[in-house]
Structure 1
Amino acid sequence: GASGSVPPQVLPFSFGESAADVGDIASANCVVPKGDLPLEIRWSLNSAPIVNGENGFTLVRLNKRTSLLNIDSLNAFHRGVYKCIATNPAGTSEYVAELQVN
């Protein structure tokens, strides 16, 4: 067993195959199966940080390695590129998914 630090690894996620409609809900799970704890898990939309409770976003830290992003009522603001960023002392990993809103 190597005694090095293990950087995070974010699993791919998606908002679904098809575009969403205005008023729908949307959610995505960011899971970080690899990486030393403690992990910081953050979300951004079009490079702007997502804040829990703002702009219809709810962020829930389900456990040490999983963060749930929920949007309660979609509008044009929510379309774009979502990024989950996981960080620990050994490094950073991110995954990007696009949400299309009709």
Structure 2
Amino acid sequence: LPHIAPFDSGDDSINFGESVSLTCNVHKGDTPIEITWYLNNRTLHDSSDFSIGKAGKKTSTLSIDSVQNLHAGTYTCVARNSVGSTSFSTDLHVNGT
């Protein structure tokens, strides 16, 4: 099974307009590995709100350029390979929400 290194947003809470990045690093598991990001169980895609980038075969970074209310919630990284899947979640708190 893939193993995900624990991650968080780095701060207890983020202010409006700040940028934040979450990095999902799969440090064990056979490739190919598919990494998917979720916010409150909703699949995230590259969009005007979220930028998702890959670094190598086992790392994915989710970036938000300008944090808003709608970005608060539970972020989950799911890593899948031929053996199965595993996930890691962290909460993002936005000041004023």
The residue type paired with residue 34 of structure 1 is K
Q: Which runs of 5+ in 2 are unaligned?
A: none
Residue 76 of structure 1 is matched in structure 2 by 69
Superposition CA RMSD, Å: 0.8
Shift of 1:16: 1.3
Residue 64 of structure 1 is matched in structure 2 by 57
Output the TM-score relative to the length of structure 1: 0.90
Give the Cα–Cα distance (whole angstroms) in 2 for the partners of residues 17 and 77 of structure 1. Answer: 18
Give the Cα–Cα distance (whole angstroms) in 2 for the partners of residues 20 and 99 of structure 1. Answer: 8
Any runs of at least 4 consecutive aligned residues in structure 1 with deviations exceeding 6 A, and if so which? none
Output the TM-score relative to the length of structure 2: 0.95
Q: Which runs of 5+ in 1 are unaligned?
A: 1-6
The residue type paired with residue 52 of structure 1 is D
Find out whether 1:85 has 2:78 as its counterpart.
Answer: yes
User: Identity of aligned pairs, percent?
Assistant: 37
Query: May I ask how many residue pairs the two structures share in their alignment?
Result: 95
Q: Which has the larger radius of gyration?
A: 1
Give the Cα–Cα distance (whole angstroms) in 2 for the partners of residues 18 and 39 of structure 1. Answer: 30
